Amino acid sequence: MSYSLKENLMKEERLAGGHRMCAGCGSPIAVRTILRALEPEDKAVVCSATSCLEVSTFMYPYTSWKGSFIHNAFENAAATISGVETAYRALKKQGKIDDSYKFIAFGGDGGTYDIGFQSLSGAMERGHDMVYVCYDNEAYMNTGIQRSSSTPHFADTTTTPAGKVIPGKMQQKKNLTKIMVAHGIPYAAQTTFIGNFKDISEKAHKAIYTPGAAFLNVMAPCPRGWRYPSEKLMEITKLAVETCVWPLYEVFEGKYTLNYRPKEKKPVVEYLKTQGRFAHMFKPGNEWMIEEVQKEVDRNWEDLLKLSEL
């Protein structure tokens, strides 16, 4: 069935308004889009790691989740949802439940790349029928923009401030999607918000409806942490894709597919200049930083091209 934005939007929204995420936040956009990928006859239990998303969507007594929801802690969304999924199988086997359920966990990059990494790895390896979604905003935003292992090279965060001696985060971003692929899970994909949301919507559907464990990595910009005007969200995600900073690809049963190949790969500087977190890279004498990032992006892109041609 071909994708139609109109039909997609006519589906039930499973995230409610009245949540307390900042204006222009990327995370609720990711959540509502992914939940719309559920077929109307299916219910879902959602788990969120402790994060901006969690504290903003279930502040007692106000829940923004229209279906069942569980928050447990920061580092264990994957383990928690795997417990729910296992209970479902146990109760279904005993004939105690007749509804059809899907299981989706959300975590920020801190809760996924860092503190929740072990729990995620365990759940993926065990192969629960679940989807883990990382809404990647590249730092610990809930606690005030501290670096994570997902923070890009040289980014200015509150624990990697662009100082006189150390100019921001000195390490590259961890490639979590590839690590998840290495688990041998049936489906892993990287996506973000582009155009009519075809890419993210189709990937969410595949992730939910491929039996077994699936992983989605969604770039979800944070206007406060990245320091850009909130209305620019879709320009930034587009530039991330056009510069190949955040390539759109999916891996189905080990086979890499590149979902979008820019006609003309834009220089990374186009992306970097849109955000205050990279502003120090544009100071005279810091040209090497931009060059280095360009080299890293090129190398990762070449790797991906090779993998997708295999």
Q: Rule CB under 8 A: is residue 33 a binding residue for another protein?
A: yes
Nearer of residues 161 and 229 to another protein, judged by Cβ: 229
Binding piece for another protein, criterion CB under 8 A, among 5-13, 184-192, 209-217, 287-295: 5-13
Per-residue 3-state assignment (H helix, E strand, C coil) for 91-108: HHHCCCCCCCEEEEEEEE
User: Does position 83 bind another protein by CB under 8 A?
Assistant: yes
Q: Quick one: which segment of 64-72, 207-215, 262-270, 291-299 binds another protein (CB under 8 A)?
A: 64-72
- Is 61 a residue that touches another protein (CB under 8 A)? yes
Which residue, 234 or 305, is less far from another protein as judged by CB? Answer: 234
The amino acid present at 237, given as its one-letter code, is T
The candidate with the shortest Cα–Cα distance to 188, out of 120, 237, 282, is: 120
Report the site for another protein in 186-245 (rule: CB under 8 A). Answer: 193, 195-197, 223, 229-235
The sign one gets for the Cα dihedral 292, 297, 300, 306 is: negative
Please spell the DSSP secondary structure of 70-131, one letter per residue: EE--SS-HHHHHHHHHHHHHHHHHTTS--S-EEEEEEEEHIIIIITTHHHHHHHHHHT-SEE
Residue 296, SS3 per DSSP: helix
Backbone angles phi, psi at 255, to 5 degrees: -95, 120
Is 64 an interacting residue with respect to another protein (CB under 8 A)? yes
Beta-bridged to residue 108, according to DSSP, are 135
Q: Is 241 helix (H, G, I), strand (E, B) or coil?
A: helix
Binding residue (CB under 8 A) for another protein from 20, 255, 265, 273: 20
Kindly state the number of chain residues that form the binding site for another protein, as judged by CB under 8 A: 86
User: Considering beta carbons, is residue 216 or 293 the nearer one to another protein?
Assistant: 216
1 binds another protein (CB under 8 A): no
The residues in 133-162 that bind another protein, with binding defined as CB under 8 A, are: none
60 contacts another protein (rule: CB under 8 A)? yes
Contact between 100 and another protein per CB under 8 A: no
The three-class DSSP label of residue 46 is strand
Q: Burial code of 164-198, b = ≥16 C-beta within 10 A, e = fewer?
A: eeebbbeeebbbbbbbbbebebbbbbbbbbbeebe
**Position 259 contacts another protein (CB under 8 A):** no
Extract the tokens encoding 144.
Answer: 């005030």
User: In this chain, which of 52, 88, 109, 157 binds another protein, going by CB under 8 A?
Assistant: 88
Q: How far is the CB of 191 from another protein (least distance, A)?
A: 13
CB closer to another protein out of 126 and 153:
126
